[in-house]
Chains A and B, each alone.
Chain A
Amino acid sequence: MVAAGTTGLVAGALGLLGALARSVVPDVLYEPPRRFPVGRPGDFPPASATFVSERRLFVFNTPEGFYAISAVCTHLGCNVNHEVGKGFACPCHGSTFEEDGRVRKGPAAWPLPRFSMSLSRRGELVVDTRRTVGADFRLKA
């Protein structure tokens, strides 16, 4: 009797608590897509770095092609500011990054990631923040 009662109690508690624990892990995210167009190649002047604020990244247009660098500081998630030729600086804890995204001065430990870019059929530059790429990545457009 006691064993049956204990089993029932434990099973009942585990069922409820397990369901509760699982339910707080969201299965569907109502968040902006992580692969998105940022504009046409012509929107970005030659030899420029453009802050796409709503996507929190920079699009660089160089003679060799386009590339995208994240604006989210790898330290604690603030937006870094960019100055042409000087690199990036984070306003929260003072990390600075080279023009290519490498860490110049901590506390950030990792470089700003670069995201994969492609050209859509409609001729728009598309960034995929789920896929990071190396420093040699350039998109000819």
Chain B
Amino acid sequence: MINDIARRLWLSVFRVGWPRTRQTRVEAMLSSFVLHVHPTWVRVHALRPTYTLGLGLVSFYLFLVLTVTGLALMLYYVPHPDAAYRSMKDLEYAVTFGMFLRNAHRWAAHGMVAVVFLHMCRVFLTGAYKAPREFNWVVGVLLLLLTLALSFTGYLLPWDQLAYWAITVGTAIVAYFPVLGPQVRYLLLGGHEIGAAALLRFYVLHCLVLPLAMAFLVALHFWRVRKDGGLSAPPGRLHRRVLAWPHLVFRELLVLVLVLVVIHAAALLFDAPLEEIADATRTPNPAKAPWYFLGLQELVRYGAIFGGVVVPTGLVLALLLLPYLDTHPRGVGVWFAPERRTANAVFVAIALAVVAVTIVGTFFRGPNWAWVWPW
């Protein structure tokens, strides 16, 4: 009786029993809302961890972790200058697991910036942006920008010195953009300075506008992976295919376990920083932007127009146009294809330069932005 009800309940939800036969394994992928993001059969090539490094998947999992932990933090966080910092202290000291959730949110956010960047490097170095995947590369670039925007808007919310001055520097860079820069900054801040209006705007962007945009573009990104013929692979070769259930689904779950373990470990071992409450009268020395913008801050030292406008705009435009400029069809589906030696060399050089200036800005810059050795 109970068994029968349980069985009917299961079937009403999933339509098929636990997938054991080839028939039910195919049906499971087709009939499940969540699983039908995948095809029923996948190329073995796409499953090789050394090909994808699982970076896109990890980015998505980190986004899920950020959504869940972010929702929990929203129950305590108050986006007003009088209360924001106090609610951070509450999360640290007066909420059970509050610090843990904040740590997890912080480290997952930093991790996501890094992993999305690495995912982009993987896609470039395997030539996976070439036809028919040009547009999905563009969507990916937008997702990278959204990730940075989410991280940046979240950075202000703790309302501590770190947050306040990082956003001071960041929004001042915005104002350097020709013609519309100052107006965009005014809109972003809802005024001339970083106050209550700015905090509320950053909060709404961080908790609602940008995550919704992210969710939409992630869905589009995944859908296009399917529509563009699955993950990129060397053309012309006969590809062996295996059933997505269990080969793909269980590998994905394994990656999820790894991500969760790492996030738990990081959140338990390392506390997210919280400095003194934001004080517009006292600039810390040195005042640093979030680490992923420290490359920008380092460049801005050599000239705000050059570092804050020319270089980032040039990089983003180059990334967006890349698949339409590079029409050479060969070298797809393998790492460091010999046909792509020049393209890969240029990309690696630029990526290393980005990493290098970021490292310099993070570790080698001390008071008054003078050179210091980190040891």
Q: Assess whether B304 is in contact with A107, with CB atoms less than 8 Å apart.
A: yes
Residue of A nearest to B303 (CB): A107
A31 CA to B172 CA in the complex, in Å?
Answer: 18
Q: Assess whether B191 is in contact with A56, with CB atoms less than 8 Å apart.
A: no
Residues of B within 8 A of A136 (CB): none
Q: Does A3 contact B (CB under 8 A)?
A: no
Known A53-B282, A92-B283; contact A25-B369, beta-carbon cutoff 8 A: no
Q: Does A35 contact B (CB under 8 A)?
A: no
Q: Assess whether A92 is in contact with B287, with CB atoms less than 8 Å apart.
A: yes
Known A29-B192, A94-B368; contact A78-B287, beta-carbon cutoff 8 A: yes
Residues of B within 8 A of A89 (CB): 368
Q: Assess whether B301 is in contact with A78, with CB atoms less than 8 Å apart.
A: no
A86 CA to B77 CA in the complex, in Å?
Answer: 44
Residue of B nearest to A55 (CB): B281
Complex partner residue of B165 from A26, A75, A78, CB under 8 angstroms:
A78
Chain A 92-114 near chain B by CB (<8 Å), digits 1 or 0: 11100000000000110100000
Residue of A nearest to B302 (CB): A107
Q: Does A90 contact B (CB under 8 A)?
A: yes
Q: Assess whether B187 is in contact with A24, with CB atoms less than 8 Å apart.
A: yes
A77 CA to B190 CA in the complex, in Å?
Answer: 17
Rounded to whole Å, the gap between the CB of A97 and the closest CB of chain B is: 13
Q: Does A118 contact B (CB under 8 A)?
A: no
Chain A 14-32 near chain B by CB (<8 Å), digits 1 or 0: 0000000000111001110
Residue of A30, A56, A75, A109 most packed against chain B (CB within 10 A): A75
Chain B 299-321 near chain A by CB (<8 Å), digits 1 or 0: 01111100110000000000000
Known A76-B173, A93-B369; contact A54-B281, beta-carbon cutoff 8 A: yes
Q: Does B269 contact A (CB under 8 A)?
A: no
Residue of B nearest to A91 (CB): B285
Q: Does A79 contact B (CB under 8 A)?
A: yes
Chain B 141-175 near chain A by CB (<8 Å), digits 1 or 0: 00000000000000000000000010011011100
Q: Assess whether B197 is in contact with A106, with CB atoms less than 8 Å apart.
A: no
Residue of B nearest to A29 (CB): B191
Residues of B within 8 A of A26 (CB): 190-191, 197
Residue of B nearest to A54 (CB): B281
Q: Does B193 contact A (CB under 8 A)?
A: yes
Rounded to whole Å, the gap between the CB of B281 and the closest CB of chain A is: 3
Q: Does B70 contact A (CB under 8 A)?
A: no
Residues of A within 8 A of B303 (CB): 106-107, 109
A106 CA to B305 CA in the complex, in Å?
Answer: 12
Known A25-B187, A29-B191, A56-B281; contact A91-B304, beta-carbon cutoff 8 A: no
Q: Assess whether B367 is in contact with A79, with CB atoms less than 8 Å apart.
A: no
Q: Does B297 contact A (CB under 8 A)?
A: yes
Q: Does B286 contact A (CB under 8 A)?
A: yes
Complex partner residue of B172 from A25, A77, A94, CB under 8 angstroms:
A77
Q: Does B231 contact A (CB under 8 A)?
A: no
A10 CA to B297 CA in the complex, in Å?
Answer: 43
A107 CA to B192 CA in the complex, in Å?
Answer: 22
A107 CA to B284 CA in the complex, in Å?
Answer: 19
A63 CA to B242 CA in the complex, in Å?
Answer: 87
Q: Assess whether A30 is in contact with B197, with CB atoms less than 8 Å apart.
A: yes
A81 CA to B304 CA in the complex, in Å?
Answer: 20
Q: Does B370 contact A (CB under 8 A)?
A: yes
Binding site for A on B (CB under 8 A): 165, 168-169, 171-173, 186-187, 190-193, 195-197, 280-287, 297, 300-304, 307-308, 367-370
Binding site for B on A (CB under 8 A): 24-26, 29-31, 53-54, 56, 75-79, 81, 89-94, 106-107, 109
What are 26 A-B interface contacts by the 8 Å CB criterion?
A: A25-B187, A26-B191, A29-B192, A30-B196, A31-B195, A76-B168, A76-B169, A77-B168, A77-B169, A78-B168, A78-B169, A79-B283, A89-B368, A90-B368, A91-B284, A91-B287, A92-B283, A92-B287, A93-B300, A93-B369, A94-B301, A94-B368, A106-B303, A107-B300, A107-B301, A107-B302
